[in-house]
């Protein structure tokens, strides 16, 4: 007897799904049984929280380029998926979520776990339906997979628990529902911009005297062509966080990251360019883009909806970044004047020297930068890196140098805490043989700490660095800089994460002083994993943009006296390069800004 759930699982297999993340419950046990029977083709990864399952499905899709799949039971299981699914929605990743429901004839009767998940999932999904029986499943399961891939978003199927077990009998089929009339086949398409558009874009870029490039996730597969464009245009490249692995961090053509956790040279090239080329990025912080009145822009993106979203463009090229850049490069003249690039390279040398002051700081309490940097030096050229949301993101972005052979990801547009560990686990499962590294915060890690046991269960080669500052530190600084409010409610009660790692059957290590860094990291890296390395770092170390804008500086000054630990904060910002970063706005003014 074939059930509706069997049809669902067979459909997943036909769509090349090899892994499903989730947690069982009585609302989804029909699907669990179908999965049990097909363990030869699909592995089920049991998570300790449905939120992690959704983050893992999202991350798995990012790491593999395939459809990510997660499942949960009715009611609380389903609602727990939501945050991870929004991560997929906001980063445009194909994910299928499967949830259970009450018995079909008890829906909306206030029975146990009776949550109408199709209504709940309405906003997050591009395809969202209740499955009525096995014949219906045949169509909608296929369409759900297809729509998630086609629209690069979340598809959701909700199946009543008795419907899951319903046999696929012919008499249940309506006359119009011919068997297999929705094929389990993926018809991909590739949009190519017309020649005259590419020529127009090349003309704009050839006319530019100071061209800057902003590269994001869409540039990663186009890295060779991107590098060639930068060479031809004499254009420095700022990298949005999701595009961190698009060029080596020490490549002479990049000014590194952009935004609050970026570099000062990236900020400079955006301020001083006359032409901008955006490749596969909708980096959200508009204040870090050039002045839209003064700067012409060309944008390349897979998604026409995203063209001109952050910066007005004179020319939008819709399609694959690698293909388009290849055509564009053939029409670009090599710029003779390299002064804009050389100025950026000079500034970048200065910036890297400034960062070295932070990463070699031996002071006590231990600063997070030397630990992040030493951790990063151990990240092999084939390894994967993830981070979470907070100051830890800035540490990974600024102080860990990656190569294009590395893989990097993060909860991008959603910027959700608690995503780092699930992303790392998904990396270990998606790419066996590669080491996985994560830099996470004590706030974010605590949210899904139990998931570490999933990494232990699968013996994943994970090294997780948790920067224990006892703070929701990014927010502490945002309260002060953005609003002029004293830090409030950001202090965290301590957790011994290293002991928790041991308690879950992994290995835990602790670093509390500068002198311990190398030895403890060597010990931790000698273990195949998973390990948690707990770095007890200064809770008063700032998280600052590369150049503090004047209004942030004024707000900060106002908030500081009433902020606990203000004397320690003042001591910390009195050292270089933080002093210069803090005075960023003032300097800009004396520069004639
Ligand atoms: C789920 C979620 N809740 C709240 C936030 C807001 N937020 C952004 S960063 C941050 C602080 C994170 O603290 P921690 O993990 O300790 O990182 P740190 O900044 O200290 O490195 C918070 C609360 C968020 N991004 N995601
Ligand atoms: Mg913290």
Q: How far is CA 121 from the centre of its chain?
A: 21
**What single string gives the DSSP state of each residue in 81-117?**
HHHHHHHHHHTT--EEEEEEES-TTTTTS--TT---H
User: Which of 26, 155, 137 minimizes the C-alpha distance to 88?
Assistant: 155
- At 279 the three-state DSSP class reads strand
Ligand nearest to the Cα of 473, by number: 1
State whether the beta carbon of 406 lies less than 6 angstroms from ligand 1: no
Cβ-based burial of 554 (10 A; exposed 0-12, middle 13-18, buried ≥19):
middle
State whether the beta carbon of 472 lies less than 6 angstroms from ligand 1: yes
Q: Does this model's pTM top 0.75?
A: yes
Best residue for ligand 1 mutational test, from 83, 390, 466 (most atoms within 8 Å of Cβ)? 390
C-alpha distances (whole Å) from 328 to each of 38, 279, 319, 332, 588 are 48, 12, 13, 6, 35
Closest ligand 1 atom number to CA of residue 392: 21
Closest ligand 1 atom number to CA of residue 414: 25
Closest ligand 1 atom number to CA of residue 471: 20
Would you say 498 and 532 are in contact if contact means Cβ atoms under 8 Å apart? yes
Best residue for ligand 1 mutational test, from 417, 448, 449 (most atoms within 8 Å of Cβ)? 417
Q: Residues 163, 71, 108, 127: what is their CA dihedral angle, to the nearest 10 degrees?
A: -90
State whether the beta carbon of 51 lies less than 6 angstroms from ligand 1: no
Q: What is the DSSP letter of 366?
A: P
Would you say 525 and 477 are in contact if contact means Cβ atoms under 8 Å apart? no
127 has which bridge partners?
A: 155
CA 539 – ligand 2 centroid, Å: 8
State whether the beta carbon of 474 lies less than 6 angstroms from ligand 1: yes
d(CA 581, CA 583): 5
Contacts of 380 (CB under 8 A, 6+ apart): 435
Closest ligand 1 atom number to CA of residue 467: 21
Tokens 């209740």 — which residue? 130
How does pLDDT run along the chain (593 residues), one tens digit per residue? 899 999 999 999 999 999 999 999 999 999 999 999 999 999 999 999 999 999 999 999 999 999 999 999 999 999 999 999 999 999 999 999 999 999 999 999 999 999 999 999 999 999 999 999 999 999 999 999 999 999 999 999 999 999 999 888 766 788 899 888 888 888 888 899 999 999 999 999 999 999 999 999 999 999 999 999 999 999 999 999 999 999 999 999 999 999 999 999 999 999 999 999 999 999 999 999 999 999 999 999 999 999 999 999 999 999 999 999 999 999 999 999 999 999 999 999 999 999 999 999 999 999 999 999 999 999 999 999 999 999 999 999 999 999 999 999 999 999 999 999 999 999 999 999 999 999 999 999 999 999 999 999 999 999 999 999 999 999 999 999 999 999 999 999 999 999 999 999 999 999 999 999 999 999 999 999 899 999 999 999 999 999 999 999 999 999 999 999 999 999 999 999 999 999 886 654 433 33
Q: What is the DSSP letter of 311?
A: S
Would you say 438 and 385 are in contact if contact means Cβ atoms under 8 Å apart? yes
Tell me which residues have their CB within 5 A of the ion that is ligand 2.
Answer: 441-443, 469, 471, 473
Contacts of 193 (CB under 8 A, 6+ apart): 317, 318, 319, 324
**pLDDT score, position 215:** 98
**pLDDT score, position 586:** 62
- For residues 119-135, b (16+ Cβ closer than 10 Å) or e, as one string? ebbeebbbbbbbbbbbb
Best residue for ligand 1 mutational test, from 389, 465, 466 (most atoms within 8 Å of Cβ)? 389
Tokens 């959704």 — which residue? 54
Best residue for ligand 1 mutational test, from 392, 472, 494, 565 (most atoms within 8 Å of Cβ)? 472
Which H, E and C letters describe 72-83, residue by residue? ECCCHHHHHHHH
d(CA 84, CA 452): 17
- At 559 the three-state DSSP class reads helix
CA 520 – ligand 1 centroid, Å: 26
C-alpha distances (whole Å) from 344 to each of 243, 336, 357 are 19, 16, 20
Closest ligand 1 atom number to CA of residue 394: 21
CA 580 – ligand 1 centroid, Å: 26
Q: Give the CA radius of gyration of the chain.
A: 25
Contacts of 99 (CB under 8 A, 6+ apart): 27, 28, 71, 72, 73, 74, 77, 78, 81, 117, 121, 156, 157, 158, 159
- Per the structure block, which two tokens stand in for 136? 């219906």
- Scanning 305-419, the segments in alpha helix (DSSP H) are 321-329, 339-359, 368-377, 391-399
State whether the beta carbon of 100 lies less than 6 angstroms from ligand 1: no
User: Which of 321, 273, 275, 315 minimizes the C-alpha distance to 301?
Assistant: 321
Tokens 């690039």 — which residue? 341
Q: Is 237 left (phi over 0), alpha (psi -120 to 50) or beta?
A: beta
158 has which bridge partners?
A: 99, 130
100 has which bridge partners?
A: 159
State whether the beta carbon of 479 lies less than 6 angstroms from ligand 1: no
- At 301 the three-state DSSP class reads strand
d(CA 476, CA 512): 22
d(CA 101, CA 119): 12
């Amino acid at each position: 007897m074939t059930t509706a759930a069997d049809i669902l699982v067979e459909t997943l297999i036909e769509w090349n799904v090899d892994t499903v993340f989730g947690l069982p419950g009585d609302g989804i046990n029909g699907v669990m049984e179908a999965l049990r029977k097909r363990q030869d083709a699909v592995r089920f990864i049991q998570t300790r929280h449905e939120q992690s399952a959704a983050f893992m499905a999202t991350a798995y899709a990012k790491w593999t380029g395939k459809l990510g799949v997660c499942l949960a039971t009715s009611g609380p299981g389903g609602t727990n998926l939501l945050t991870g699914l929004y991560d997929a929605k906001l980063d445009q990743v194909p994910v299928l979520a499967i949830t259970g429901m009450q018995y079909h004839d008890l829906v909306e009767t206030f029975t146990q776990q009776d949550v109408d998940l199709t209504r709940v999932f309405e906003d997050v999904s591009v395809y969202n339906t209740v499955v009525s029986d096995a014949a219906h499943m045949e169509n909608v399961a296929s369409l759900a997979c297809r729509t998630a891939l086609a629209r690069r978003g979340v598809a959701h199927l909700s199946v009543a628990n008795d419907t899951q077990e319903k046999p696929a009998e012919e008499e249940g089929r309506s006359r119009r529902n011919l068997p297999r009339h929705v094929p389990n086949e993926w018809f991909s398409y590739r949009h190519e911009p017309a020649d005259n558009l590419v020529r127009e874009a090349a003309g704009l870029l050839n006319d530019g005297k100071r061209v800057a490039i902003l590269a994001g996730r869409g540039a990663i597969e186009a890295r060779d062509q991107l590098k060639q464009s930068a060479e031809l245009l004499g254009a420095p490249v700022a990298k949005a966080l999701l595009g961190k692995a698009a060029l080596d961090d020490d490549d002479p053509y990049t000014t590194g990251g952009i935004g609050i956790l970026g570099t000062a040279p990236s900020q400079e090239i955006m301020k001083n360019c006359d032409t901008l080329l955006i490749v596969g990025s909708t980096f959200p912080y508009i204040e870090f883009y050039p002045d839209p009145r003064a700067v012409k822009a060309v944008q390349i993106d897979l998604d026409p909806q995203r063209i001109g979203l952050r910066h007005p463009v004179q020319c939008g090229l819709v399609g694959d970044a690698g293909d388009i850049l290849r055509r564009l490069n053939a029409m670009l003249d090599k710029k003779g004047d390299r002064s804009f690039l050389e100025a950026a390279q000079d500034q970048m040398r200065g910036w890297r020297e400034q960062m070295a002051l932070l990463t070699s700081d031996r002071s006590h309490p231990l600063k997070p930068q030397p630990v992040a940097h030493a951790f990063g030096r151990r990240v092999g050229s084939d390894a994967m890196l993830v981070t979470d949301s907070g100051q830890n993101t800035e540490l990974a972005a600024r102080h860990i140098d990656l190569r294009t052979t590395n893989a990097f990801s993060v909860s991008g547009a959603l910027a959700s805490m608690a995503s780092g560990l699930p992303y790392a686990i998904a990396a270990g499962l998606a790419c066996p043989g590669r080491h996985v590294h994560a830099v996470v915060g004590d706030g974010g890690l605590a949210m899904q700490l139990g998931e570490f046991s999933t990494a232990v269960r699968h013996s994943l080669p994970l090294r997780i660095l948790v920067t224990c500052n006892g703070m929701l530190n990014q927010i502490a600084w945002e309260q002060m800089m953005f609003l002029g409010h004293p830090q409030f409610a950001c202090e965290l009660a301590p957790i011994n994460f290293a002991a928790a790692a041991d308690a879950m059957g992994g290995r835990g290590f602790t670093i509390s002083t500068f002198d311990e860094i190398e030895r403890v990291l060597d010990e931790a890296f000698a273990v195949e994993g998973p390990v948690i390395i707990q770095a007890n770092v200064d809770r008063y170390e700032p998280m600052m943009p590369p150049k503090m804008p004047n209004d942030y500086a004024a707000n900060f000054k106002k908030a500081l006296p009433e902020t606990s630990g203000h004397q320690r904060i003042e001591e910390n910002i009195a050292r270089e390069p933080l002093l210069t970063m803090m005075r960023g706005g003032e300097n800009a003014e004396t520069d004639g800004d």
